[in-house]
Structure formats: C-alpha cells, structure tokens
C-alpha cells in the first residue's frame, strides 16, 4: 500500500506547479502508469481523491491515468514486440506466454514499463 504515499507526493508536486504557474486551480492531471510500475491504479486514484480535498488548488482536479501496453523482448531472437491491449495476460505480465511473433519462441521477457510520470496539467 505505497500508493497513498505516491499520491501524497503527486499532490505536493501539483501544489508547487500551481504556485509556479500562478494558477488558482488545477482541473485535470494526466499521469502515465507503466504496466510494471507496481502501482494499483484503483488504490492510487482512491488515495488521490481523498488527499486532493485538503487544499484549494487540487479540490477539483480530475485524475486521468494512462496505462500503456507492456513491451516484450524475445530471449531467443531478440525481437521486441508490444502485447496488444486485449492480449495482456494479467496473472503473468512479466514473461509473456504469447509466442514471439517473429520466431515463435516461447520465452519473452518484459522490458521497461516501470515509469510513473506526471505528463500534463490543465490549470486555470
């Protein structure tokens, strides 16, 4: 349950940015949550919505989470491919059980995807 401390960190970042840009309020917050960042998006949103009430600039902020699909590297041929959104295997996202589309190899390991990035803000 470290989502709450990350949400608190995001709120702190938002307050600093609102101050820097002399904005009264932040209306929309877009965050990229990588598929392997270890973040439970529902808990993160829940934490954010609870914490945003405590200060005026974030009271009306709507949190939008973008979740890009995972990328895999085939351990046999080195080919990289993106798992189509519908085919992400939830229980074992780190080693794709989809065969490599290039060589058919069965051992594909996930690459990158641990990012957690504040992408864009809409402010007034």
Partner 1 sequence: MCDVCGCQLTGTSNKRLVEVNQSLLEANDRQGDANRTHIERMGAVAINLISSPGAGKTTLLEHTIDALGSELRIGVVEGDIETERDADRIRAKGVAAVQLTTGGACHLDAPLVHKGLHALEDQANSKQETAEGKKYDLIFIENVGNLVCPATFYLGEHKRVILVSVPEGSDKPAKYPTTFRGADLFVITKTDLLDYFDFSLDEADKEAGRIQPELEIMHLSATTGDGFSAWIDWLKKLVA
Distance CA(81)–CA(105), nearest Å, equals: 12
**Residue of 66, 82, 94, 102 that binds partner 1 (CB under 8 A):** 94
**Cβ atoms of 108 and 96 closer than 8 Å:** yes
Distance CA(47)–CA(31), nearest Å, equals: 14
| Contacts with partner 1, 29-68, as mask; x by CB under 8 A | --x----xxxx-----------------------------
Smallest distance from the beta carbon of 51 to partner 1, in angstroms?
13
DSSP per residue over 81-110, as a string? EEPPGGG--TT-TTEE-SPPTTT--S-EEE
DSSP-derived pairing of the beta strands 26-33 and 62-66? parallel
Judged by CB under 8 A, the stretch of 57-65, 77-85, 104-112 that binds partner 1 is 104-112
Judged by CB under 8 A, the stretch of 23-31, 52-60, 62-70, 82-90 that binds partner 1 is 23-31
Which residues contact partner 1 (rule: CB under 8 A)?
1-2, 5-6, 9-10, 12-13, 17, 21, 23-24, 27, 31, 36-39, 75, 92-95, 107, 109-110, 114-124
């Amino acid at each position: 349950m470290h989502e709450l401390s990350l949400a608190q960190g995001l709120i702190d970042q938002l307050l600093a940015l609102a101050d820097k840009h002399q904005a009264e309020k932040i209306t929309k917050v877009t965050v990229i949550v990588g598929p392997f960042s270890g973040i439970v998006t529902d808990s993160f949103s829940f934490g954010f919505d609870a914490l945003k009430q405590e200060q005026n600039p974030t009271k009306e902020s709507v949190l939008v989470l973008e979740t890009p699909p995972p990328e895999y590297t085939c351990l046999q041929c080195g080919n990289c491919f993106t798992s189509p959104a519908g085919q992400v295997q939830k229980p074992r996202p780190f080693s794709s059980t989809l065969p490599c589309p290039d060589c058919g190899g069965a051992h594909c390991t996930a690459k990158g995807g641990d990012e957690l990035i504040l992408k864009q803000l809409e402010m007034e």
